[in-house]
């Protein structure tokens, strides 16, 4: 293991938040079931990257930022999600999402016979820790100054 120590005191802390939907319920024999979840942004966040997480019925995953006027911007779109390739997706330059915006994650599930990885297309699938269950978590990696940012009260 090699450790590298900073010459100066760090100015930022990297954090990760999971936009999770634990109430998912995927009907049997459904090829494109959509679930969404939103998270309000309480302070300006410079986003560094994302890590979507679903299990074997996961088919697509998308992150959007919706500003207070309702304008939507796609931050990341994965039209062909693959459980075997759970990747971190990083920006080259951080993307600033302003306070008051909403992060929306959308997941599409394939619980049909057409999904070769599906162990039981006839079963309704809900949140659970096993691979045969499902999950919906949109991890967002961002950084904040070591002095705490002001949180919008609402």
Q: Is residue 16 part of a domain?
A: no
Q: Is residue 128 part of a domain?
A: yes
Q: Is residue 19 part of a domain?
A: no
CB within 8 Å of 140: residues ≥ 6 apart: 16, 17, 18, 19, 39, 45, 47, 50, 63, 103
CA distances, 151 to each of 142, 146, 148 (Å): 15, 14, 9
Q: Is residue 37 part of a domain?
A: yes
CATH number of the domain encompassing residue 135: 2.60.120.230
Query: C-alpha angle with apex 66: 154 to 48, nearest 5 degrees?
Result: 95
Q: Is residue 78 part of a domain?
A: yes
The model scores a pTM over 0.85:
yes
Domain that holds residue 40: 25-143
Q: Is residue 131 part of a domain?
A: yes
pLDDT of residue 6: 85
Distance separating alpha carbons of residues 119 and 112, to the nearest angstrom: 10
Q: Which residues pair with 76 in a beta bridge?
A: 63
Number of domains composing the chain: 1
Six-digit token pair at 12?
A: 């930022």
pLDDT along the chain (154 residues), means of 10: 87 94 98 98 96 98 98 98 92 97 99 97 98 97 83 64
Q: Is residue 74 part of a domain?
A: yes
């Amino acid at each position: 293991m090699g450790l590298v120590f900073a010459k100066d005191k760090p100015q930022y802390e990297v954090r990760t938040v999971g936009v999770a939907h634990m109430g998912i319920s995927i009907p049997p024999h459904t090829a494109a079931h959509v679930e969404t979840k939103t998270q309000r942004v309480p302070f300006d966040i410079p986003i560094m990257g994302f890590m979507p997480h679903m299990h074997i019925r996961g088919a697509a995953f998308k992150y959007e930022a919706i500003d207070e006027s309702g304008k939507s911007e796609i931050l990341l779109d994965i039209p062909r999600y693959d459980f075997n390739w759970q990747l971190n997706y990083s920006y080259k330059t951080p993307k600033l999402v302003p306070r008051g915006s909403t992060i929306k994650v959308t997941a599409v599930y394939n619980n049909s016979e057409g999904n070769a990885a599906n162990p039981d297309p006839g079963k309704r699938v809900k949140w659970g820790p096993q691979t045969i269950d499902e999950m919906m978590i949109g991890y967002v990696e961002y950084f904040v100054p070591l002095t705490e940012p002001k949180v919008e009260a609402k």
